[in-house]
Structure 1
Amino acid sequence: MSTPHPDAPDVIRSAYAQLGVTDLAASRWFWVDMLGFHVQHEDAGTLCLRGSDELTHHSLVLRSGEQAALDHIAYRVRTPDDVDKAEKFFTELGRPVRRVPKGQGTPGVGDAVRVIDPLGFPVEFFYDIERAERLIQRYDLRHGAEIARLDHFNICTPDIPAAYAHYQSLGFGCSETIEGDEHELYAAWMYRKQTVHDVAFTGGVGPRLHHLGVATHESHQVLRAADLFGSIRKEHHIERGPGRHGVSNAFYLYLRDPDGHRVE
């Protein structure tokens, strides 16, 4: 693990992403009916979704808007004091910082801090989030591709060394890099929870979201996702795969939702 900056908040894991979508009904079909997310909260403009293994209120939020966009990615921190630390840490970096009291932000989330980080990404840090019913053994509720949980964010930035240094300052460790002959850093995979990564950086035009990574229990559920889209002649949502890649040799499939958001 990296040695974090002494004033940095103690991040536990990647927690959720909030996406802007232009057609909430079409997005519900894709993420809920086809991929198998469970609906935890729904109103006229918002869907809060979670996988079958997740015990918190949501790992994905879809909000109706005029254009498709990343609203923010969110990390959970270890204690309520770490929310205060996040506010101070990013303020001292000279970054835009906004406190979001409980009830004024995303449903289910307590007191939070939203920042524009040094890479230009909108990022939320929070501790408190509502608990949700345990669904791990509710096989009767499983449907679609049976998504189990959010796994990671993959983001694009033109300055990979700066991204690496920033996430090192937050205590993230590194599981994999892509480097040139002179050790130029082209991409990196970094983690806080005990998986291959919570966030990955890909070189390119940015800041922008490359994809959200979600996990299933079995490889056949990845194939099932492809079969589901193919069976109803919606295979245009499949971008690449199935196949294997990465240091974990993960079995994957890239999909695009109705707004073009990419999910792996």
Structure 2
Amino acid sequence: MPVPQHIFDPPFNVRRASHVVLDVTNLAAVRTFYENAIGLHVEDADSEAVYFRGYEEQQHHSLVLRKAKENACRRMGFKVGDEADLDKAASFLKSRGIAADFSEQPFQGRTLQFIDPLGYPIELYAKMDKRPHLLRRYDLYKGCHPQRFDHFNVFANNVQGTVDFYAQLGFRLTEYAEEDGPNGRIAAAWMHRKGNVHDFAITNGRGPRLHHFAYWVPTAMNILHLCDVMASSGYVSNMERGPARHGIANAFFLYVRDPAGHRLELYTSDYNTMDHDHDPLRWSLRDPRRQTLWGAPAPKSWFEEGSPYTGQAVHDPLFVADVIVAS
């Protein structure tokens, strides 16, 4: 299937993946997990919602937990360049027949919300309340010292369609996994706006669903320390996969599940892709190193389980990829 061409003058300027809004049935339990085990900083909280950020972030929040009747992902948030980009985005979406509405959201400026053609609920904003950054407040550090929000990874029933839509918006392909042969289909793709490996990753599977969201941590030792923290604080069963290293992105990682079942990746050691002539790296689906460089297999849950999006139906993938997995 075709690899998209980089678009350097998109219809509006998405700067980066910014935040995720999760619905949870047990707000207190999930808050405790992210605050005390993972170590995210609570910026604001009430009986209905909790707002977290990483130590390096000056924006008010990068993770929002909302009390709800079902566990789901409500929205994925991206930051755009300025207020004019919001109006450009609204015009672009309208021209494509995609309904989009401006909404008031706590601690954010004007926010444009829409559901993309693949079923992913997105919100765009240009301004968010700022807070003093906590990078040097080592007295506040807990868990694995999460610094900043890094990316989303989604299950997509139509990978090519998802790649093509986000390529229109200026997302650039950095790595992809493809079937061998002249008619090989793309089964996974990693796309970015901010100049590292990805802001948005797309994985073939039943979708639309959120596979995981990720925070960047300073070193691999922070991830190893988190394993000790979780094992000694009652969360050993919440560790799903890792620690290990992906071939794709070169990422040292650990995947964990919060008490609501949402999957979080703690992530470090990726690389810069900011040069305009950076070429995407192709991986064969027959190469198990793309998934786990060291050969450790992923659990079945990692391939099959994900968070539904609030109000969105889930569909089987258009094809089943013949994938070699680590063993």
Q: TM-score normalized by structure 1?
A: 0.95
- Please name the residue that 1:37 is paired with: 40
Give the residue type in structure 2 aligned to 1:134.
H
Deviations 1:183-216 (A, max 9, x none): 3111000000011100000001111100001111
What SS does the corresponding residue of 2:36 show, helix, strand or coil? helix
Structure 2 residues without counterparts, runs of 5 or longer: 266-327
After TM superposition, which residue ranges in structure 1, 4 or more long, deviate above 6 angstroms? Answer: none
Structure 1 residues without counterparts, runs of 5 or longer: none
Q: Distance in 2 between matches of 1:63 and 1:110?
A: 19
Provide the alpha-carbon RMSD of the alignment: 1.3
What SS does the corresponding residue of 2:166 show, helix, strand or coil? helix
Give the residue type in structure 2 aligned to 1:263.
L
Give the residue type in structure 2 aligned to 1:3.
I
Deviations 1:23-42 (A, max 9, x none): 11101111111101001111
What SS does the corresponding residue of 1:248 show, helix, strand or coil? helix
What SS does the corresponding residue of 1:81 show, helix, strand or coil? helix
Q: Distance in 2 between matches of 1:197 and 1:24?
A: 29
Aligned-residue offset at 1:246: 3.6
Aligned-residue offset at 1:111: 0.3
Aligned-residue offset at 1:233: 3.6
Kindly report which structure 2 residues correspond to 1:215-254, keeping only aligned pairs within 5 A, or say none. 215-254=216-255
Is contact 1:177-1:185 (8 Å) kept? Answer: yes
Give the residue type in structure 2 aligned to 1:249.
N
Deviations 1:10-66 (A, max 9, x none): 100001000001111101111111101001111111111100011111111111100
- Please name the residue that 1:2 is paired with: 6
Q: 1:72 aligned to 2:75? A: yes
Q: Distance in 2 between matches of 1:215 and 1:35?
A: 12
Aligned-residue offset at 1:5: 6.9
Q: Which moved more, 1:91-100 or 1:139-148?
A: 91-100
- Please name the residue that 2:111 is paired with: 112
- Please name the residue that 1:263 is paired with: 264
Give the residue type in structure 2 aligned to 1:118.
P
> 2:18 pairs with 11, 15, 25, which one?
15
Give the residue type in structure 1 aligned to 2:200.
V
The size of the alignment, in residue pairs, is 259
Is contact 1:4-1:168 (8 Å) kept? Answer: no
Q: 1:208 aligned to 2:209? A: yes
Q: Which moved more, 1:90-99 or 1:22-31?
A: 90-99
Q: Distance in 2 between matches of 1:202 and 1:162?
A: 12
Flag the 1:94–1:55 CA change in 2: closer, same or farther, 3 A. same
Deviations 1:59-106 (A, max 9, x none): 111111000001000110011011111111112211221211xxx32x
Aligned-residue offset at 1:4: 5.7
Q: 1:135 aligned to 2:134? A: yes
- Please name the residue that 2:144 is paired with: 145
- Please name the residue that 2:175 is paired with: 176
Give the residue type in structure 1 aligned to 2:78.
Y
- Please name the residue that 1:195 is paired with: 196
Is contact 2:37-2:233 (8 Å) kept? Answer: no
Q: Distance in 1 between matches of 2:227 and 2:152?
A: 22
Kindly report which structure 2 residues correspond to 1:53-72, keeping only aligned pairs within 5 A, or say none. 53-72=56-75
Deviations 1:99-158 (A, max 9, x none): 11xxx32x2110011000011100001101111112111111111111111110001111
Q: Distance in 1 between matches of 2:31 and 2:247?
A: 30
**Greater Cα radius of gyration, structure 1 or 2:** 2
Identity level (%): 39
Q: Distance in 2 between matches of 1:222 and 1:199?
A: 22
Q: Distance in 2 between matches of 1:206 and 1:9?
A: 26
More strand by share: 1
Flag the 1:66–1:4 CA change in 2: closer, same or farther, 3 A. farther
> 1:48 pairs with 38, 47, 51, which one?
51
Give the residue type in structure 1 aligned to 2:50.
L
Aligned-residue offset at 1:221: 0.9
Is contact 1:5-1:169 (8 Å) kept? Answer: no
Give the residue type in structure 2 aligned to 1:228.
V
Is contact 2:25-2:68 (8 Å) kept? Answer: yes
